[in-house]
Each structure stands twice: as C-alpha cells, then as structure tokens.
Amino acid sequence: MEWIVVAAVGGFALGGVVIFLVRQLLISHRIQAAKKEAEALLAEAQTKHKEALLEAKEEAIKIKSQVEAESRERRTELHRQERRISQKEENLEKKSEALERREHGLSTKEKEVEVLHAHIQDLKRKQIQQLELISGMSSAEAKELLAKALEDEVREDVSRRIREIEAHLKQEADERAREIMSLAIQRCATDVVSETTVSVVPLPSDEMKGRLIGREGRNIRALENATGVDLIIDDTPEAVTISSFDPVRRETARIALEKLILNGRIHPARIEEMVQKARGEVEAKIQAEGEQAVHQTGVPGLNPELIKLLGRLKYRFSYGQNVLLHSLEVAHLAGMIAAELGARVDLAKRAGLLHDIGKAVDFQVEGPHAQIGANLVRQWDKSAEVVGAIAEHHGEAESMSVLGFIISAADAISGGRPGARRESLEQYLKRLESLENLADSFPGVEKSYAIQAGREIRIMVKPTEIDDLEAMRLARDIVKKIEETLAYPGQIKVTVIRETRAVDYAK
C-alpha cells in the first residue's frame, strides 16, 4: 500500500513539474509574440511619423510659397500707391504755385480797386455836395423825402391790392353762397298750403239746418260757446260754414259738428259731450303730427312737450303759409346748407325744426316769437347752439353764430319762394302807400311811385331844388329812413330821377 501512495505522490509531483514547464513554455511563447507585435507597431508608428513629417514639410512649403506670393503682391501694391501719392504731391505743388500766383494777382487788383473806390467816394461826395447846393436840402432830408414818397407809393399799391383781393373774395363768396342756396332750393321743394279762415261741413239735407239751430237758437249758441267759432247757416244748400281765425278751434268745431250730424241727436248736453271728444281727437292728431314731423326730419330725442308744440303748428299759419310745413322745409334746407358749409347737420336740423316753435304759444306770451321759442326750447333742450340759433334767426339778437346764419338763410328761402306766402290786398296797398308817403316827406321830392310790388320806388325830384350831388344824398337818406321805419320782405331799390329840359322854338 505504501508504494502505491509513494507512486501517487510522485505522480502528482511529476504532473506538477510538467504543468509548470508547460506554463513557462506558454509564457515564453506569449512574450515572444508580444515583442514581435510591439516591434511591428513601433515600425508602423515610425513609418506614419515619417509620413506625417513629410506632409508637414509639404504643407509648410506650400504656405511659405503662398505667403511669399502675397508679400510680392503687397509690395507691388505699395509701389503703385507710392507712385500715385508722389504724383498727387506733384499736382498739389503745381496747384499751390498757381494759387500763390493768383493770390498775388488778386492782391494787386485789390489795391487797384481800393484806389478806384476811394476815387469814386471822393467823386460821390463832391456830387452830393453839388446836389445839396442845387436842391437846397441836405442828403438826410432828401433820403427822408424819398422814403416818404416810396412809403406812400407802397401803401397805395398795398391798398389797391387789398381791395382787389377783397373784391375777388367777395365775388367768390357770393358765387359760393348762390351755389349753396340754389342747391338747397332745388333739393327741397314742398307743397304750399294757404291759410283759410272758414271750413264747410256738408249736411245730409236742409232739414238738418233747423235742428242745428234748435229751439230759439239754443243749439247753435251752445256750439259757438263751447268751441269759440262762428257757425254760419245761410242759403247755401246742404252746407254749414264754420268761421274762425283759430285753426284749432275751427277743426274742433268741424269734428264735433260732423259727429253731431252723424249721431242725429242734437241738444246742448250732447253738443258739449261731442266737443270734448273732438278736443281729444284734435289733441291726439296734434301729437301724431308732431311725431311725424320729428320722424321726417330725423331729429331724435325731442322732449314730448316740444313734440306737442310742434304738432300745434299744424294749425298755425303765417302770411298764408302753414308753419309746420314751413318748419319742416327750414329743417331740410338748414341741414343741406350745413352739410355744404361743413357745420353740424344734426344741430342745424334740430334748430330749423324748432325755430318757429314760439308761434305755438305767441298769443299767450308777450314778446317776439323767436325769443319765446328760445325760452321754450331752453327748458327741455340743453343745447346752447340750438337755443342761440332760434333766438338769432330774425336778427333780433346782439350777435349771430354760424348756426344762426344758417337758420336765418333757410327761413328766408322757405318764406321767400314764389307763392309760399301771401298778404291781403289791404295790407299790400297799405305797404305801398306807406312807402310812397315816406319818400314824399323829404323836401325837393315832386312825386314818388312804388313799383315791382313794393320792391322798388322811383322818386321824381324838382331839378331847381335838388342837384346831382344832392340827389345821391337824398337816395341814401331815403334808404336809411326805410330801413329804420318800415317792415318789408327782401330789399327795396330806391331810384332818384332828376330831369332838366331845355326848350326853344325856331321862328
């Protein structure tokens, strides 16, 4: 058993030696291989180093050649600039020499000019002395006289120029005003309603006349007392005439009378009842007319009281012209004129619509209707421009605003159109007679004639008492007197005629 153990130990020992030797052999082999690989890497690195050195040398040679080329170019450019600078220096030297020669020549001429100037001043002084001796005045006095003459001439020229400019501007303004007025008139043409003081109510039969009169006239008296009108029952067949200067009362009586005729029962109590209903209908119609007027003119935001007063103008007439229609027309005209002038159209329309609002209550309040209307509008409309234009539209205020002029012009256009207004024959003849009497009151007037419906008066004067200069003065005095004392539409032309005759006979 022991030898088996010894053999086993020996075998293990021999195997360990063999393994050690094999390991050493492997290690030696690996070292040799590593050395060979390191030598190969070193050789490759040396080769790459040489190649890099060669490339660096080639690059350095290339850069050097480029730098040398750039240096040569710069040296060439510097040589060119040096030559250019030298040429400029030569040119500057030549110019400097020429300037010096010119300066020398100018200094010589300047001395000559100074000598000539001194000689001229001496001659001028001698001439001034001779002129002072001849004229008998000093040079200062002569300058003052010349300046005054020049000033007068310039002032006259400036005055003439100013007059020409004023005349030109006035002509342009007149043409522009005529254009605006004609445009406004052409764009707005409303119907004309003439004033009537009577209304005719048709009857179903003549028997109704007796029923309207009533026993001992009690029905007709009750109707007249309730409405304030005159009921005319005459021989006109199947018709009754209502007469009154108050259109509201006349309309109320007409409606009440139509209701009574339709109902058939006519007695004082029934008359009072129908008159009350008629008044309510008239008030409703007044309100509707006012609202329609506001809608037609496009004037929003009016106080209900002003709208009601506008409606009352439906039954108010001025020289035969319906005041509500006149107000509508003035509102439209004022808006057109304001648009042409660049003013506020809304204010112009509002002022035009309300300008105659005072006529709705002028029989209840003392004063001119323009001032009454301004006071009324001031209570419910806070626009100072509108109130001022209403107060100014007849020229009764101390000053006139632009809006006031617009309303005044529109009012004159509406009232001055042919057929818009009328006056009675009695008033017409009275106006002509007043005009002729005024002209006859002046001394030296032989006879006067009012023509052209009172728009012109021709005055014959006594040639022995009035000469040509006095005739011109007389025409001016008559015009002034007409403006102060008479009320008239538009303008009146005054023509003074002085005639002298020399008569002889050949025998």
The values of phi and psi at residue 184, to 5°, are -65, -40
- Partner residues linked to 458 by β-bridges: 449, 495
pLDDT at 364 exceeding the cut of 80: no
Count of C-beta atoms within a 10 Å radius of residue 41: 10
Same fold, 198-285 and 425-498: no
Specify the CATH class of 425-498 in words. Answer: alpha beta
403-420 pLDDT per residue, tens? 888 888 888 877 766 555
* Residue 348 confidence (pLDDT): 87
Inform me whether the pLDDT recorded for 424 exceeds 70. Answer: no
Q: Give whole-number Cα distances, 358 to 75, 288, 309, 346, 365, in Å.
A: 106, 19, 9, 21, 9
Give the pLDDT mean for 427-444: 86
Segment 131-149, tens digit of pLDDT: 777 766 676 777 777 788 7
48 φ, ψ (degrees, to nearest 5): -65, -35
Six-digit token string for 47: 């080769």
Q: Residue 236 — φ and ψ, nearest 5°?
A: -60, 125
Spatial separation of the C-alpha atoms in residues 86 and 96, rounded to whole Å: 15
pLDDT of residue 195: 46
Class of domain 198-285: alpha beta
pLDDT at 197: 57
Task: Give the model's pLDDT for residue 193.
Answer: 46
Q: What is the pLDDT of residue 1?
A: 60
Confidence band of 370 (pLDDT split at 50, 70, 90): confident
In this prediction, residues 443-452 reach a mean pLDDT of: 89
Written as six digits, the tokens of 420 are 């818009």
Structure tokens at 282: 């008239």
Does the pLDDT of residue 194 top 50, yes or no? no
Q: Which CATH class is domain 302-416?
A: mainly alpha
For 99-123, how does the pLDDT look when each residue is reduced to its tens digit (9 = 90+)?
A: 888 888 888 888 888 888 888 888 8
At residue 496, the pLDDT reads: 92
pTM for this structure? Answer: 0.49
Mean pLDDT of the chain: 80
Query: How is the chain split into domains, by residue range?
Result: 137-186, 198-285, 302-416, 425-498
